[in-house]
Amino acid sequence: MTTQELGVHDKQELKSQEATRPGRAYVPDVDIYETSEGLWLWADMPGVDEKSISIDLTDNVLTLEGQVSLKDYENLAPVYTEYNVGNYVRRFTLSSEIDGDRISARMTNGVLELSLPKSERAKPRRIPITTS
Amino acid sequence: MALFRFLPQLDPVGGLLTLQRELERVFETPLGVDLGPSGRGVFPAVNVFSNPDGYVIRMEVPGIAPEQIGIECSGRTLTVRGKREVAPPAGGSFHRRERGGGEFSRSLQLPADLDLSRAEASCKHGVLTVRVPKKEEAKPRQITVKAA
């Protein structure tokens, strides 16, 4: 399997719609991986803790929102900067194969890990062939 | 350079917007201080701030446990090393792959009036913070005026 090279690209600002919260929102980098059991999603949201994240699934639209605390930036004057600090927002449309009740999420070191299990109906099944 | 203060409890909106304005202003006029050649695009992204006590260096290192980050100082150079593991469970395939993995190393050259031997580092929610205090002799000092 080829691996994605480690690098940093400029944070993309979310401009397509008016947000309900003030401040700017950036699009987090996301990996989406599918196994026969379901989907896995990882989103890089550095600076977001488990209490400042909201995950919402409505009409198959999954919305991830992370709030960044600015408390640590008090009394600091920028000298050299490469990235902007702001909240994270990203939306995905899921297929109806996902079992919404069994979605689980975990936040570790600024990475959100979501497990989106497929509903029983959508799992691949092997159909046995009987010889007569 | 203007020192700006946040009072989030009074005005969270203004605080966030001020920070973003300041960061953008620095983007436009980069390198207020010579930190060596720019490493934009190199992982991890770095922001350097100053306060009266010294410098505060922030790096975004999501997905890396604090014990997997190594920091070295030599002369005026601060080097941060580590490895980011991106290992999905076996037997599937990627639909989207935007996050990278692998080893990284990044060096910053800091001004000579900082005391790297007293630097302290902490890592919280994927953000590494290194605080480097100024040398005692570089700190502002009050001189009392004696009556002659």
Instruction: Name chain A contacts of B45, Cβ cutoff 8 Å.
Output: 8, 82-83
Is the preceding peptide bond at B44 cis, omega within 30 degrees of 0?
yes
What pTM was computed for the model? 0.77
> Per the structure block, which two tokens stand in for B74?
């030599």
Question: For the domain that residue A103 is a member of, what is the CATH number?
Answer: 2.60.40.790
Is the same domain home to B127 and B60? yes
Are A3 and B100 within 8 A, CB to CB? Answer: yes
B39 and B79 housed in the same domain: yes
- Whether A46 sits inside 8 A of B125 (CB atoms) is yes
Residue of chain B whose alpha carbon sits nearest to that of A67 = B16
The domain tally of chain B equals: 2
Q: Same domain for B41 and B106?
A: yes
Q: Does the structure show a pLDDT above 90 at A45?
A: yes
Q: pLDDT higher for B112 or B140? A: B112
Which 76-115 residues of chain A touch chain B by CB within 8 A? 76-86, 107-111
Whether A40 maps to a domain, the answer reads yes
Nearest CB to B96: which of A30, A48, A110?
A: A30
Cα gap B22→B16, rounded to integer Å: 10
Range(s) of the domain holding residue A93: 27-122
Say yes or no: B20 and B81 in one domain. Answer: no
| Domain-embedded: residue B76 | yes
Domain for residue A51, yes or no?
yes
B1: containing domain? 1-30
Decide if B127 and A47 are in contact by the 8 Å CB cutoff.
Answer: yes
Q: Do B91 and A35 touch (CB under 8 A)?
A: yes
Domain shared by B65 and B7, yes or no: no
List the single residue in B with minimal CA-CA distance to A46: B126
Task: Render pLDDT for A58-102 as a digit per residue (tens, 0 to 9).
Answer: 888 999 999 888 888 888 888 888 888 888 999 999 887 888 888
Residue A77, C-beta contacts closer than 8 angstroms, at least 6 positions apart:
B1, B2, B3, B4, B22, B49, B50, B51
Give the count of Cβ contacts less than 8 A between chain A and B: 202
CATH number at residue B112: 2.60.40.790
* Residue B15 main-chain phi, psi, to 5 deg: -60, -45
The answer to whether position B92 is within a domain reads no
- Residue B11: pLDDT band (50, 70, 90) is low
The count of structural domains within chain A is: 1
Mean pLDDT of B86-104: 86
A7 in contact with B, Cβ within 8 Å: yes
| pLDDT for B4 | 47
Question: Are residues B39 and B19 both part of a single domain?
Answer: no
d(CA B46, CA B42): 9
Same domain, B19 and B39: no
